[in-house]
Chains A and B, each alone.
Chain A
Amino acid sequence: MKEESKYLIENENVYCGALSCRGCGWSLLARHVSSVMGTKTVYVVPACCFSIIAGPYPMNLLKGTVVHTLFAAAAATATGIRHSLNRQGKNDAPVVVLAGDGGTFDIGLQSLSGAAARGEDFIFICNNNGAYMNTGVQSSSATPIGSITTTNPDGKGTNAKDLMGIIAAHNIPYFATASLAFLDDLQQKIIKAKSIKGFRFIMIDSPCPPGHKYAPELSIEISRLAVETNYFPLFEAENGTYKINYLPKKKVSVSELLIRQGRFSHLFKNGTSKIIADVQKQIDLAWKKLNDRVKI
């Protein structure tokens, strides 16, 4: 087996000095995305952690154009940029949205849906860390059930929105999930997305030590566990044909994932909460549904 460091980032397209927290998923993601996309890329960033990480004026973390835009308007801004680049004959300059879960699941959903339905030619990448982390950990509709946030101090009582289901309903040419613990898979998906025309969507399960309440060095381990437990399965769909990219070798209970994160600690305080069993049931059901989709 090759050492991962040997082939993963060939063209480093970020500068040093990112303003991310230790163990942040954004920084690793930005390095991989930008190394594949190249310097002619126009990145569109709605309000999210990356608005800060990318650097204040006049700095720019990425070797590429960055357009900071309004929270609700990433996909709409990207639409205007894409069409205008095409008018100028710059069809080969990629446009990539880098959004958080708020700018994807919540306030950004309308413009995302509009652009997907129009078949706009750009890539939308959601760095999903499951809450409004930039403003200090408030619940979003991506926040998983049971998670403690500052706006759900007793733990969120409802499930995260099935965004990938919504994306699938738009019949776009390519969508995928990816994990920062599976960098080769992540890289292949960015390469594939880049090679396809039309609206493409990639959802990243992003670690967030301050928001998920764990030590920064556990980011990759926890990301890996999310895949191993089928909590965040790796899959892609090209023109509606699903493919699961990683099959866990053995079944790992979701409690292994939850117990490592402070945001779920209350579920383990007095025995084991019923929520954990419910989450396990949902995971098993979702995994079955995903496998059924692959078979079709």
Chain B
Amino acid sequence: MKKGVMRPGHVQIRVLDMDEAVKHYTDLLGMIETDRDDQGRVYLKAWTEVDKFSVVLVEVDEPGCDFMGFKVVDEAALNQLEKDLVDYGVGVEQIPAEELKDCGRRVRFTVPSGHAFELYADKKYTGKWGVSSVNPEAWPRGLQGMKAVRFDHCLFYGPELAAVYDIFVNVLGFHLAEQVLDPEGTRVAQFLTVSMKEHDVAFIHHEEKGKFHHASFYLDTWEAVLRAADLISMTDTSIDIGPTRHGLTHGQTIYFFDPSGNRNEVFCGGDYFYPDHKPVTWKTEELGKAIFYHDRALNERFMTVLT
């Protein structure tokens, strides 16, 4: 957080059918619908999140991810980061306050992998859902499905990882927590953090620009991940792989798809990061184990199915 970028704040996900998508993200993932806007977008949050929304769904005819937003500590930091991006040669676009309801101005930029990101300082503080901020109970009643705790991170697929690294690490103050190196020493995957989390955003090399691998949501326990697996079967939801453990980050995980084919993850556990930690390296020769620690073999769908 050395440059003032604090945490993942939101992701706008494109869906083919809004009703099916809302049902998936609320009934199955357990997010809470908090608003809709005149563009037909639906705003959702997970129950422990203090701001009004973290996932925005928009109905269009091609699924994928429009952008991921990071919250910064204050307006001064936003101004400085905006200047730093411009000085570094990154084009920025101004998105006015209220373009997303109850969200302040956003500074949008596209990195060389083809993905759009945003920085913002203000969003309406609504507090955790269903619990008081004074003498709070452990959890709220009435949560649905997987009871997602928070929107945690995204994984994107695209080219030019080195240039993306430079922007995130040198301009935005992220740290490299984990990486995958090929035999020539080229970084083909980078897991970046601005916090104590193992990753706040990750990239894997892919020739085509701007592809979306998944949006991930945090759960408390392995038991909750297994329960998520039960719910995926009960609802006949399209599964990708899991429950299993990753080598990378060591998180315990399951992957599945929303009704438009966007991949979701729910996970628990995983390593932690402090700024004095050196990056953890996996080699592509062990990529199977890096991705799926138990099977130690890749599932082709996981590596190639993208929106």
A and B held together in a complex:
no
- Taking Cβ atoms with an 8 Å cutoff, the residues of B that contact A are none
Taking Cβ atoms with an 8 Å cutoff, the residues of A that contact B are: none
